């Protein structure tokens, strides 16, 4: 029993240390990434929109999309670290549902276009009291995963109010998750395919 206790304490300490390292490294990546994004945006604005610059503008836009993806990944890691440390502070405000959902839909447009997917929004307007940043994070993670694992398909974002709660449902026509792996979907840094040659990217905390 004492050996198991020591092993458990060592494992917990290692996980805590790993989370701290990951969060620190991720935080340090934010500043240079934002500088890269600002330079790309400034350069793109300075490029005349004419046929001679078509290829250059296309490369700039593609680089901006990928830098936005990297920014989202880093933010996911930082939020994950705060959640583990119980240091997330919520700011609760009344939020209009349709503008919120449309903003999330606009955010994932590049992901939709990459795999040629269609997005449907199904829900009525209303107001919910919540933390806008965290709610956006949840919805965008669900939509981002749906886009990543669906090709030439349809994704549906549906929401409704029920007994004072906001219920959000995301469905897609993608590959899905094998039933034996469903119990693991909330495990940190886990994916169905964990190999270095896996088809789908990501870090498994979406």
Question: Tens digits of per-residue pLDDT, 30-76?
Answer: 788 888 888 888 888 888 888 888 888 888 888 888 888 788 777 77
Give 100's Cβ-side CA count (13 Å radius).
Answer: 27
pLDDT exceeds cutoff 80 at 198: no
Q: Which of 14-23, 29-38, 42-51, 96-105 has the lowest mean pLDDT?
A: 14-23
Kindly state the percentage of the chain with pLDDT values over 70: 78
Q: What is the pLDDT of residues 154-193, one digit of tens each?
A: 999 999 999 889 999 999 999 888 888 888 777 766 666 6
- Per-position b or e across 81-102, b if 16+ CB within 10 A of its CB: beeeeeeeeeeeeebebeebbe
Residue with tokens 């903003």, as numbered in its chain = 103
Whether the model clears a pTM of 0.75, i.e. scores above it, the answer is no
Three-state helix/strand/coil letters over the chain: CHHHHHHHHHHHHHHHHHHHHHHHHHHHHHHHHHHHHHHHHHHHHHCCCCHHHHHHHHHHHHHHHHHHHHHHHHHHHHHHHHHHCCCCCCCEEEEEHHHHHHHHHHHCHHHHHHCCCEEEEECCCCEEEEEHHHHHHHHHHHHHHHHHCCCCCEEEEEEEEECCEEEEEEEECCCCCCHHHHHHCCCCCCCCCCCCCCCCCCCCCC
Q: Is-contact 77 23, C-beta < 8 A?
A: yes
Comparing C-alpha atoms, which of 58, 129, 64, 59 is closest to residue 90? Answer: 129
C-alpha torsion 126→128→133→138, nearest 10: -80
Tell me how far apart the alpha carbons of residues 73 and 104 are, in angstroms, rounded to a whole number.
Answer: 16
Residue with tokens 């447009």, as numbered in its chain = 109
Q: What is the pLDDT of residue 196?
A: 46
Q: Is-contact 156 170, C-beta < 8 A?
A: yes
β-sheet bridge partners, residue 118:
154
Q: What is the pLDDT of residue 202?
A: 58
Sign of CA dihedral 11, 16, 20, 22: positive
């Amino acid at each position: 029993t004492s050996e198991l206790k020591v092993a458990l304490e060592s494992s917990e300490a290692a996980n805590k240390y790993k989370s701290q390292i990951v969060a620190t490294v991720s935080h340090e990546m934010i500043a240079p990434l934002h500088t890269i994004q600002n330079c790309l945006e400034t350069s793109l604005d300075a490029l005349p929109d004419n046929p001679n610059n078509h290829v250059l503008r296309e490369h700039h836009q593609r680089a901006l999309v990928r830098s936005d993806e990297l920014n989202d990944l880093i933010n996911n890691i930082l939020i994950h670290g705060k959640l583990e440390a119980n240091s997330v502070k919520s700011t609760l405000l009344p939020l209009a549902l349709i503008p919120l959902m449309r903003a999330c839909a606009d955010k994932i447009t590049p992901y939709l276009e990459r795999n040629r997917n269609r997005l449907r929004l199904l829900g009525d307007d209303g107001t919910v009291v919540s933390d806008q940043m965290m709610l956006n994070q949840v919805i965008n993670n669900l939509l981002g995963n749906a886009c990543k694992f669906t090709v030439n398909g349809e994704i549906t974002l549906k929401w409704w109010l029920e007994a004072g709660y906001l219920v959000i449902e995301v469905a897609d026509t993608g590959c899905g998750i094998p039933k034996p792996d469903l119990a693991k979907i909330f495990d940190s840094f886990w994916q169905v395919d964990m190999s270095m040659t896996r088809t789908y990217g990501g870090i498994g905390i979406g």
